[in-house]
Amino acid sequence: MKSPLANFEADVIIIGAGAGGGSAAWRLSHYGFKVLVLDAGPSYSPSDYRQSSHTWEKPFPYKTASKSAYEVAELQPIHELKNELRSWNKMKGLLVKGSRRANFGYHHVRGVGGSSLHFTGEAHRLNPDSMQMKTQHGVAADWPMGYKELEPYYQTAEERVGVAGPLSDTRCPRSAKYPQPPHPYSFAAKVLDKAAIRVGHQPQANSLAVLSKPYDNRPACNYCGGCQRGCMLTDKGSIDVTYLKHALASGNCQILPETEVLKLETHHGRISSILASHKGKLHKLSAQWIILAAGAVQTPRLLLNSKNAHYPHGIGNQNGQVGQNFMETLLTTVSAEHPEKLGSHRGLPVNWVSWKYNAPDSIPGVIGGCRFGPSMSESDLVGPVAYATRVIPGWGLKHKARMREQLGKVLSITSIGECLPHKKSYISLSDQLDQHGIPVPRIHSYLDQNAMARLAFMNAECRKILDAAGCDSPFETFSSADAFSSTHVFGTCRMGTDPRQSVCDAFGSVHDIKNLFICDASLFPSTGGGESPGLTIQALAIRSADYIRTLN
Amino acid sequence: MSNKQQDHSTHSHNRISRRLVLKLLALAPLCWEQTYAQLNNPEPVPPGVLPSVLDVLIPGDSTPGATDLKIEESLLDTASQIPRYPELIQQGTQWFNTTSLRSFYKPFPELAPNAQIRIVEAAFNQPEMTLPRVFIERIREDAMTLYYHNSASWTGMDINRPIQPLGYPDHEEPPGKL
Ligand SMILES: Cc1cc2nc3c(=O)[nH]c(=O)nc-3n(C[C@H](O)[C@H](O)[C@H](O)COP(=O)(O)OP(=O)(O)OC[C@H]3O[C@@H](n4cnc5c(N)ncnc54)[C@H](O)[C@@H]3O)c2cc1C
Ligand code: SF4
């Protein structure tokens, strides 16, 4: 059926132009499929970013419709939490004032490119040891494929994006070297690198979707450090300037921004049509294949909201698995001032990474790994506004003088760790309705003792590195222990071999719906030990696209 | 029970980076205990109080002070979009002026710099959640933000231009070569 919105008859409709949707669109359009990509958010262009303006320190420039509505259910009490696990700042005291974990947000962008528009650009493969958590450690679930099967797709994704990585990387076996040489470390990252080595870490150059050399008509990075504010230069491998650019160039793809899918309709075990809202009008669209890539919060929401007489609990939810197993970012960041000027506001956000504790059994006494890296830019401690409001207390002439002395002295270390599924962490539908009268997702998050123990280890290790770097005692800690604050979300439509325990098969095909695929982080059976998920989402989506091609 | 309200306030107002909460006071619902009875019947506040307080917080030296960069106007503009903020400013400045009249028999803008500094110090030293403390901490946060968003404030720092279009080609070196 020719769509009233697109100027061609689509073979595939993709819902969501983020990491999963964008990479599937690229692969399928290059195979000759006619692909229509719908995204609820707006398009962005480099001129939307403020990095060259005086107000460059302002956050990512959200536009109307570039945030989705959601709700966070009441979080767990924190009265038993030890002080060293709390989030605090020396100027502001405890950052969570109440007696429960606080909601600091599910951070995302709705837009063509999805959350990659403000991501940091880390491009990690998943540790192969993290893919068999059930068999090896009795927790979470196994991935229904091994690392070996995913490896060629990782390689394809790295080449499409232009990932710069270390010359030798033994953590995950590779069939070819990284397409781009590694980035040099900033001066401050070198100081932290030496400190990490002193306390027993083995840091290596981080693999980044950031160009170290010109590539694919995009320039090399100039180390402004503003990745999370959107990259003006386009050297950061966000989905719009990599996959979607090439999908459009194929002539087989059309992207419709500000088009929100409200409901999936079924007929005889297939998605027969989708209901989308575009510029205030409702449209019914259909295609042979539907790919749902709305991210791990909105994908289950759409499936649950699409319940009908045949699927009374929601599409794909005959076993009550849609929305379960929600996993979030488990993180701790510690920041401190160094006695010397290091110019620490300069350079890439996460130059190096220490994978020493990344394997699931590497933290003593706790299952699930983690990783460490510098994070001045990710912590947003790279400009005068941040220094004036978070680092340097006081006011008056002395404060101004201290501002001049101290800028560039802050060092931060972040650790991200494995988040295991818990029955109290899931996505459900809220009573709150969006502007279309449809329930918004409600996020339930819970961290158990195992997660708290992992966080305690991560926190202590971050402090050790800063201490070894010669920093003063920390002025700020941020921790998931008392704050829900998630940039990586996973697991809510888990893939697996047993339909009673999963929503999709190993290719993202929804078990009971013949033409519906899921291509986003909802699929992850486990999170890995702190790896950033974007590259794995892309590899999985490219693999699903190849599978769809075989079905056709 | 859900924490919708809290979600809304932190989500839409706080400036949050990828992995860190930043502006902790920023735009959280404003509340304070009204410890000064006269504030329930607000009197007009002389116009110069807010700029004078801002200039004590951010005085001019080799770089401009708060009023040189018209921080008062931007602050009032910001405040007009936040529930109860204009009221906080009205009552906060009134506290400053009343304290000034009581202690030094002069309106705040007419005080000598040292006397102004003493009143600002006193405001910071009040107990948490009292009007002067909430007012002074909040306007410190917002005034510093507005001030350091202005490149005229960057002179003498290791950052003297926006991060693009030049980036930091010297990022591998010790600072000081910009
Ligand atoms: C600040 C930040 C930094 C990050 N840094 C990194 C990093 O360095 N490396 C990394 O790998 N990951 C990083 N991440 C995480 C990464 O960005 C996400 O994991 C990834 O983008 C998720 O991809 P996705 O395809 O699952 O979903 P998304 O990127 O969220 O894309 C989903 C898309 O679907 C659209 N959509 C949703 N609902 C509908 C609907 N009903 N109809 C139509 N469209 C819809 C949305 O508008 C959105 O564009 C970061 C995230 C944030 C927020
Ligand atoms: S550091 Fe590089 S990738 Fe990041 S925004 Fe700046 S130029 Fe772009």
Domain locations in chain A? 12-49+62-551
Instruction: Say yes or no to pLDDT of A8 above 60.
Output: yes
Fold of A12-49+62-551: FAD/NAD(P)-binding domain (3.50.50)
Instruction: Say yes or no to pLDDT of A435 above 60.
Output: yes
Chain B nearest CA to A538, separation (Å): 20
Whether A532 is in the pocket of ligand 1, judged by its Cβ within 6 Å, is yes
What's the pTM value of the predicted model, to 2 decimals?
A: 0.94
A50, A51, A54, best to mutate vs chain B, most B CBs in 10 Å: A54
Q: Average pLDDT over chain A, rounded to whole?
A: 96
Spatial distance between the Cα atoms of A526 and A141, rounded to a whole number of angstroms = 6
Q: Calculate how far, in angstroms, residue A254's C-alpha sits from the geometric centre of ligand 1.
A: 20
**How many distinct helices (H) and strands (E) make up chain A?**
10, 21
Nearest CA to ligand 1 atom 35: A16
Of B17, B59, B150, the CB nearest to A378: B17
Q: Average pLDDT over chain B, rounded to whole?
A: 81
Q: What is the mean pLDDT of residues A101-116?
A: 97
Closest residue in A to B145 (Cα–Cα): A385
Q: Which helix (H) or strand (E) holds B138?
A: helix B131-148
Closest residue in A to B161 (Cα–Cα): A54
Tell me if chain A has a CB within 8 Å of the CB of B77.
Answer: no
CA distances from A264 to A284, A302, A307 (A): 10, 8, 9
pLDDT for A3:
56
Kindly report whether the peptide bond that precedes residue B165 is cis, defined as omega within 30 degrees of 0: yes
Instruction: Say yes or no to pLDDT of B12 above 70.
Output: no
pLDDT for A528:
98
pLDDT for B176:
78
Spatial distance between the Cα atoms of A138 and A142, rounded to a whole number of angstroms = 10
Spatial distance between the Cα atoms of A397 and B65, rounded to a whole number of angstroms = 10
pLDDT for B5:
29
CA distances from B120 to A172, A395, B50, B55, B91 (A): 58, 10, 12, 11, 15
pLDDT for B42:
55
CB contact under 8 A, B162 and A378: no
Angle between helices B49-57 and B113-125 (to 10 degrees): 80
Of A92, A233, A404, the CB nearest to B24: A92
pLDDT for A110:
97
pLDDT for A180:
97
- The tens digit of pLDDT for each residue in A22-34 reads 999 999 999 999 9
Neighboring chain B residues of A478 at a CB cutoff of 8 Å? 19-21
Spatial distance between the Cα atoms of B66 and B57, rounded to a whole number of angstroms = 8
Better-scored residue on pLDDT, B43 or B40:
B43
Better-scored residue on pLDDT, B44 or B175:
B175
Nearest CA to ligand 2 atom 7: A221
Q: Of all residues in chain A, what percent carry a pLDDT higher than 70?
A: 99
Of B19, B23, B159, the CB nearest to A407: B159
